[in-house]
């Protein structure tokens, strides 16, 4: 937790290792920080995100939010989202709800009867899938909620050994639904903006993750209605357009990469995050929870 002074201090003291045994013969070299590890990563450790998995949402305040879809986990919901985007359903939709410490939700208000054309109206739940943890690379630290947590191909996940599911971490996107489980058709989506509401895991379909422009959603004024819904239309920020990146001219597509969760770089980054060192940290945590271990994303160099 650094002040401006400490930024300068860090530069000066970058080589000092607090808490390490003194090494009078040789100069002490601080272990690399998580950022050092990312900066030194080979190009092969970064994977391009397919343009057909990226949605670019332009908001009426001029900001732009990019989210990545998770077709492996929720194929029917993701097909719905692609169809809704391509049919223009979200062009002119709005931010409906901002509940502090919980979620931002967007779509069309209930009184808006715009037809959602060509989608599966009653998708299967897709809350979990029966991979039995086979492709999950586990974290070595316990979790409050699940037997195992870890990563499946770039996504934060959990497993009970029978089925796997994506977890409700900061920035993850889910499908809002009514009381009945089959009422979520992807016309309204939400993203998590506070402490991970893990009680929602396996109760709603998780379909993606905001990977750019999250701050334009989180900094919206909180709604003053029940559950943080905005009460009046002027409070609702308009979504000018939502486009599949694959439908944009090549030069306009966001070129984003995610750190390969099967790479050695990712493993080193995880362990450096769990064991912060350097001048500032007095005591490394020695652990990391899954929602503090979201795979880093960068602009392609």
Nearer residue to its own copies within complex by CB, 78 or 98: 98
Site for its own copies in 83-102 (CB under 8 A): 98, 100-101
Nearer residue to its own copies within complex by CB, 197 or 244: 197
Cβ neighbours of residue 251 under 8 Å, at least 6 residues apart? Answer: none
Nearer residue to its own copies within complex by CB, 141 or 241: 141
Q: Which of 214, 239, 259, 270 binds its own copies (CB under 8 A)?
A: 214
List of long-range contacts for 249-256, beta carbons under 8 Å, 24+ apart: 253/51, 253/54, 254/54, 254/56, 254/66, 254/212, 254/299, 255/48, 255/299, 255/300, 256/48, 256/49, 256/54, 256/66, 256/68, 256/211, 256/212, 256/297, 256/298, 256/299, 256/300
Q: Which of 25, 134, 226, 301 binds its own copies (CB under 8 A)?
A: 226
Task: Please state, in angstroms and rounded to a whole number, the distance separating the CA atoms of residues 237 and 235.
Answer: 6
Q: Which of 218, 241, 257, 263 binds its own copies (CB under 8 A)?
A: 218
Q: Which of 181, 235, 238, 254 binds its own copies (CB under 8 A)?
A: 181
Site for its own copies in 182-201 (CB under 8 A): 183, 188, 190, 193-201
Q: What region, left, alpha or beta, does residue 213 occupy, with left being phi > 0 and alpha being psi -120 to 50 degrees? A: left
Task: Please state, in angstroms and rounded to a whole number, the distance separating the CA atoms of residues 182 and 80.
Answer: 14
Cβ contact 16:280 at 8 Å: no
Q: Is residue 105 close enough to count as binding its own copies by CB under 8 A?
A: yes
Shortest CB 171 distance to its own copies, Å: 8
Shortest CB 227 distance to its own copies, Å: 6
Shortest CB 168 distance to its own copies, Å: 9
Binding-site string for its own copies from residue 11 to residue 50, where x marks contact by CB under 8 A and - marks none: --x-------------------------------------
Q: Which of 21, 26, 43, 179 binds its own copies (CB under 8 A)?
A: 179
Task: Please state, in angstroms and rounded to a whole number, the distance separating the CA atoms of residues 57 and 66.
Answer: 6
Nearer residue to its own copies within complex by CB, 166 or 196: 196
Nearer residue to its own copies within complex by CB, 135 or 163: 163
Cβ contact 80:70 at 8 Å: no
Q: Is residue 285 close enough to count as binding its own copies by CB under 8 A?
A: yes
Task: Please state, in angstroms and rounded to a whole number, the distance separating the CA atoms of residues 82 and 77.
Answer: 9
Cβ neighbours of residue 94 under 8 Å, at least 6 residues apart? Answer: 106, 107, 108, 109, 233, 236, 237, 238, 239
Cβ contact 70:82 at 8 Å: no
Cβ contact 272:39 at 8 Å: no
Shortest CB 219 distance to its own copies, Å: 5
Q: Which of 64, 203, 241, 263 binds its own copies (CB under 8 A)?
A: 203
Nearer residue to its own copies within complex by CB, 180 or 250: 180
Shortest CB 206 distance to its own copies, Å: 11
């Amino acid at each position: 937790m650094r002040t401006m002074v400490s930024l300068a201090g860090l530069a000066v003291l970058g080589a000092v290792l607090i808490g390490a045994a003194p090494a009078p013969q040789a100069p002490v070299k601080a272990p690399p920080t998580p950022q050092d590890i990312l900066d030194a990563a080979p190009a092969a450790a970064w994977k391009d995100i397919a343009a057909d998995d990226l949605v670019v949402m332009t908001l009426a305040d001029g900001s732009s939010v990019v989210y990545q879809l998770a077709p492996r986990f929720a194929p029917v919901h993701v097909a719905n989202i692609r169809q809704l985007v391509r049919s223009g359903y979200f062009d002119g939709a709005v931010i409906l709800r901002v509940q502090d410490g919980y979620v931002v939700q967007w779509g069309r208000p209930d009184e808006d009867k715009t037809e959602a054309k060509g989608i599966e109206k009653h998708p299967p739940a897709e809350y979990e899938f029966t991979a039995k943890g086979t492709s999950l690379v586990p974290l070595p630290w316990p979790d409050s909620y699940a037997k195992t947590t870890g990563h499946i191909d770039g996504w934060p996940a959990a497993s009970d050994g029978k089925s796997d599911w994506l977890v409700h971490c900061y920035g993850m996107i889910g499908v809002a639904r009514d009381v009945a489980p089959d009422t979520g058709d992807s016309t309204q989506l939400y993203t998590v903006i506070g402490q991970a509401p893990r009680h929602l895991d396996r109760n709603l379909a998780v379909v993606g993750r905001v990977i750019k422009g999250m701050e334009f959603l989180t900094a919206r004024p909180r709604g003053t209605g029940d559950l943080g819904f905005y009460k009046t239309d002027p409070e609702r920020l308009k979504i000018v357009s939502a486009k599949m990146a694959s439908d944009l001219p090549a030069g306009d597509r966001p070129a984003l990469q995610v750190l390969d969760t099967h790479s050695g770089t990712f493993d080193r980054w995880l362990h450096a995050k769990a064991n912060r060192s350097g001048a500032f940290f007095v005591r490394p945590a020695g652990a990391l929870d899954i929602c503090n271990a979201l795979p880093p994303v960068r602009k392609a160099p």
